[in-house]
C-alpha cells in the first residue's frame, strides 16, 4: 500500500469513527445520510484491503440496518442492534492501546434459567374468570400454589413474601399495558432466581409469539391451553426432579489437550469420557451413551473424518450430535466435515466458554429430540393396545394410521446417507465446486 493510499484509508477510518461515535450518543435520532454513505465507502475499501474485511462486514451490516430505517429514528427493537453494531465497529477500529471495553448488550430479552426452587408460588395475571379457575385447579392439583393478581400495580409490588417461581400472563392483557415489559424486567432483577414468564395468547401468529419473546417469556402457550404440557414445563424449569448431567465423549489422541478440554467441561458439571484411541471410540460410545461426541481430525489409526463417517452409519447415533475440534484452518475441511454429518466445527485453540456453550446447546437439543421420539413411540404402542377395544368400524382405520405413522417416523429417522465427496480446492483451501 502506498503512502497516499494509507493516508486515504486512515482518513476514512477516522471519519467512520467520528460519525459512529456521534450516532451512538443519539440513538433516538435519525442517523445522518452521510453515516450510511461513509459506511458503504468504507466497506468498499475493505474489499481491497483484505486485512479489514471483518470490520468491513460490520460496517456493511450497520449501513444496511440504517438504510432500512429510511431516515427515521431506530425503533425500540432496532436501537439495541444499532448500538451493538456501532460498539463492535468502534472496538475493531480503536487505535492501538485504546481498545474499548468489550460489552455485549443482549439482542433478545433475557429468559429466566432453569433452577431448583423450594417454593411453588405461581402468579396468574389473567382477566378471564374461566381461565383463572381452570389454571388454579390444574396448578393446585400439580402441587403448585397459584395466586391471582388483578392489576399491574399489584404485580409490580410483589416482594420476597410473594416471590413467584413463575408468572402466567395473558398476552392480550400485557398488550393493553405497555409498561408490562418494564415490570417483568424489574421482577427478574429483584428476585434470584428470577421468575419464569409464560405468555398465553388467543392466537399463535408470529406477532403474538414475537411479543412474548420481547417480554422475556420462557414459553408461549396458545389457547386452548394444553394443561398437561404447562405443568410438565413448569416442573422442568423448576427442577422438581433431579436433572442428569450432560455426557460428552471426547476423542483426542493428545493426552494433554484431552485433559485440558475435559477439565473445562467438567467445571460446568458435564460428565466427560476421554478416548485416546479412535478405534476404541465406538465401543466406549455404546457403554457411555454420550449426549455429544467431540472428535479431533488428525489421529493415528483412524482419522476424525473416518471416525465421523463410521459413526454416522450407526442408526443408534443419528440423534447424537458430533462436533469436530481441530487446528485445521481450511474452510474446505469444514465443508467436508459438515457433509459427513458433523453438527459443528470448532477451530483450535477454542475458547473454553464457547466450547462449553456449544456442547450444552447441542446436548440440550439432542435430549429434547430423543425425548420427543420416545414419547411418540409410547403413544404408538398405546394406540396399538387400544385398537382391539375400538368398535370394528374404527379398528381398521386405527391400525392403518399407526402403520402410516410408522412409515413417516422411519423416513424421519433414517436420514439420507452421508456420502464422501471428493473436494477440489484452490490454493487458499476454498472448495471450487460441489457435486
DSSP for 89-134, please give it: HHHHHPPTT-PPP-----SS---PPP---S--EEEEE---HHHHHH
pLDDT value at residue 94: 81
Burial class of residue 352 in the structure, from the number of CB atoms within 10 Å of its CB (0-12 exposed, 13-18 middle, 19+ buried): middle
The helix, strand and coil proportions of the chain, stated in percent and rounded to the nearest 5, come to: 55, 10, 35
Per-residue pLDDT of the chain (435 residues; tens, 9 = 90+): 677 778 888 899 999 999 999 999 998 899 998 999 999 999 998 888 878 888 889 999 999 988 888 889 998 888 888 888 998 898 888 875 555 556 666 778 888 887 777 788 999 999 888 999 999 999 999 999 999 998 999 999 998 888 899 999 999 999 898 899 999 999 999 998 899 999 999 888 899 999 999 999 989 999 999 888 889 888 888 876 667 899 999 999 989 989 999 999 999 999 999 999 999 999 999 999 999 999 999 888 899 999 999 999 988 898 899 999 888 778 888 899 999 999 999 988 889 999 999 999 999 899 888 877 777 777 777 777 777 776 765 555 655 555 555 544 444 433 444 444 555 555 555 555 443
Question: Rounded distance, CA 232 to CA 236, Å?
Answer: 6
pLDDT at 410: 45
Determine how β-strand 322-326 pairs with β-strand 292-295: parallel
End-to-end CA distance of the chain: 39
* Predicted pLDDT at 399: 55
To the nearest 10 degrees (0 to 180), the angle between helices 33-46 and 53-69 is 150
Contacts of 20 (CB under 8 A, 6+ apart): 35, 62, 86, 89, 90
The three three-digit cell numbers of residue 175, written as one number:
398488550
> Would you call 420 helix, strand, or coil by DSSP?
coil
Amino acid at each position: 500500500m502506498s503512502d497516499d493510499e494509507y493516508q486515504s484509508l486512515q482518513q476514512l477510518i477516522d471519519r467512520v469513527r467520528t460519525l459512529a461515535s456521534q450516532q451512538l450518543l443519539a440513538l433516538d435520532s435519525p442517523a445522518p445520510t452521510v453515516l450510511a454513505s461513509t459506511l458503504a465507502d468504507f466497506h468498499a475499501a475493505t474489499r481491497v484491503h483484505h486485512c479489514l474485511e471483518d470490520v468491513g462486514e460490520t460496517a456493511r451490516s450497520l449501513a444496511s440496518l440504517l438504510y432500512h430505517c429510511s431516515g427515521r429514528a431506530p425503533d425500540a427493537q432496532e436501537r439495541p442492534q444499532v448500538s451493538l453494531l456501532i460498539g463492535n465497529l468502534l472496538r475493531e477500529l480503536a487505535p492501538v492501546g485504546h481498545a474499548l471495553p468489550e460489552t455485549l448488550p443482549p439482542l433478545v430479552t433475557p429468559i429466566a434459567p432453569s433452577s431448583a426452587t423450594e417454593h411453588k408460588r405461581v402468579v396468574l395475571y389473567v382477566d378471564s374468570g374461566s381461565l383463572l379457575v381452570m389454571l388454579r385447579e390444574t396448578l393446585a392439583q400439580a402441587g403448585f400454589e397459584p395466586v391471582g393478581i388483578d392489576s399491574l400495580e399489584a404485580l409490580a409490588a410483589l416482594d420476597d413474601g410473594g416471590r413467584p417461581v413463575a408468572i402466567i400472563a395473558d398476552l392480550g392483557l400485557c398488550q393493553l399495558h405497555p409498561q408490562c415489559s418494564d415490570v417483568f424486567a424489574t421482577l427478574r432483577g429483584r428476585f434470584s432466581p428470577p421468575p419464569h414468564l409464560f405468555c398465553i395468547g388467543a392466537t399463535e401468529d408470529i406477532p403474538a409469539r414475537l411479543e412474548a419473546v420481547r417480554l422475556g417469556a420462557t414459553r408461549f402457550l396458545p389457547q386452548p391451553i394444553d394443561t398437561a404440557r404447562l405443568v410438565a414445563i413448569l416442573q422442568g424449569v423448576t427442577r422438581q426432579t433431579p436433572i442428569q448431567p450432560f455426557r460428552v465423549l471426547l476423542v483426542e489422541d493428545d493426552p494433554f489437550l484431552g485433559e485440558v478440554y475435559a477439565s473445562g467441561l467438567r467445571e460446568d458439571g458435564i460428565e466427560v469420557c476421554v478416548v485416546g484411541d479412535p478405534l476404541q471410540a465406538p465401543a466406549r460410545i455404546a457403554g457411555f451413551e454420550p449426549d455429544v461426541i467431540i472428535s479431533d481430525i488428525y489421529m493415528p489409526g483412524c482419522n476424525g473424518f473416518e471416525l465421523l463417517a463410521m459413526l454416522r452409519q450407526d442408526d443408534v447415533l443419528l440423534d447424537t450430535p458430533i462436533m469436530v475440534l481441530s487446528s485445521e484452518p481450511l474452510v474446505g475441511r469444514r465443508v467436508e466435515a459438515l457433509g459427513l454429518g458433523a453438527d459443528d466445527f470448532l477451530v483450535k485453540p477454542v475458547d473454553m466458554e464457547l466450547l462449553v456453550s456449544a456442547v450444552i446447546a447441542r446436548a440440550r437439543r439432542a435430549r429434547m429430540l430423543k425425548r420427543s421420539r420416545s414419547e411418540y413411540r409410547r403413544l404408538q404402542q398405546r394406540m396399538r393396545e387400544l385398537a382391539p377395544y375400538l368398535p370394528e368400524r374404527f379398528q381398521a382405520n386405527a391400525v392403518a394410521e399407526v402403520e402410516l405413522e410408522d412409515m413417516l417416523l422411519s423416513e424421519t429417522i433414517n436420514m439420507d446417507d452421508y456420502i464422501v465427496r471428493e473436494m477440489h480446492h484452490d490454493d487458499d483451501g476454498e472448495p471450487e465446486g460441489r457435486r
